[in-house]
Amino acid sequence: MASSMRSLFSDHGKYVESFRRFLNNSTEHQCIIARIGDTKREIKILSIGGGAGEIDLPILSKVQAQYPGVHINNEVVEPSAEQIAKYKELVFAWHKETSSEYQTRMMEEKELQKWDFIHMIQMLYYVKDIPATLKFFHSLLGANAKILITVVSGTSGWDKLWKKYRSRFPQNDLCQYVTSSDLTQMLDNLGLKYKCHDLLSVMDISDCFIDGNENGDLLWDFLTETCNFNSTAPPDLKAEILKDLQEPEFSIKKEGKVLFNNTLSFIVVEA
């Protein structure tokens, strides 16, 4: 691996930009929102890694529709100040428009109280001890409560990409290569009851095959978790990945586009 390659997480601005390109080119949020269904006088929701609120907002809307007139107490743990600012703007605007009986707060520290619903949308990659994290938040569930987790599926292109190339990507201690196959094994080891469903999702990576394409360059960064991958990766590594991304195990070709297998797993853990 060339010494000039560095982790995408070393440049926060570049990571956010490449992540946005990933969302714009994938069906990830659409498939999660379509899957959200049913989850008293007050409903307490804890969002771990709430991001900019794009998924939290549909969750809140679903809960409000299911329980009209019920007070929703939504609390958020999100380390990025930039994401929190966007979250407040989006979710508070929804609250004003709907005039719902609702309040939200950004948690400053862990508070040991019971929750009706905890969701962890695409965030378990970024904790150091996943089993301990699962065990802790499971202990915070009230009676009949649930945790919703989404991670990439063990059948996705990510699984194949990570298994084959992880040792050749820049190493970092901020992200773990974990899929639903790993996570369900952890849940089994903890003796927790859960259900797991796959959500079909794709990411259009056609621009990755066009030299000098800005969108393609940022998608390369996100795929490899490497800052400026196109300009710093050894040519043989790029050529090898480029070839693999066109293989059926990684992607499908449809209507002239190359669609990367971004299949997610939707895991519901019971109290």
Q: Beta strands of 107-220 (E only): which ranges?
A: 115-121, 141-152, 194-199, 202-204
Distance of CA 161 to the CA centre of its chain: 17
CA distance 97 to 42: 20
Annotated binding-site ranges for substrate: 28, 262
CA distance 174 to 79: 13
> 10 Å Cβ neighbour count for 26?
21
Annotated binding-site ranges: 28, 49, 78, 83, 99, 121, 262
Are the C-beta atoms of 4 and 232 separated by less than 8 Å?
yes
What tokens appear for 118 in the block? Answer: 């905890």
Annotated binding-site ranges for S-adenosyl-L-methionine: 49, 78, 83, 99, 121
How are strands ordered across the β-sheet holding 42-48? Answer: 102-106, 71-77, 42-48, 115-121, 141-152, 264-270, 194-199
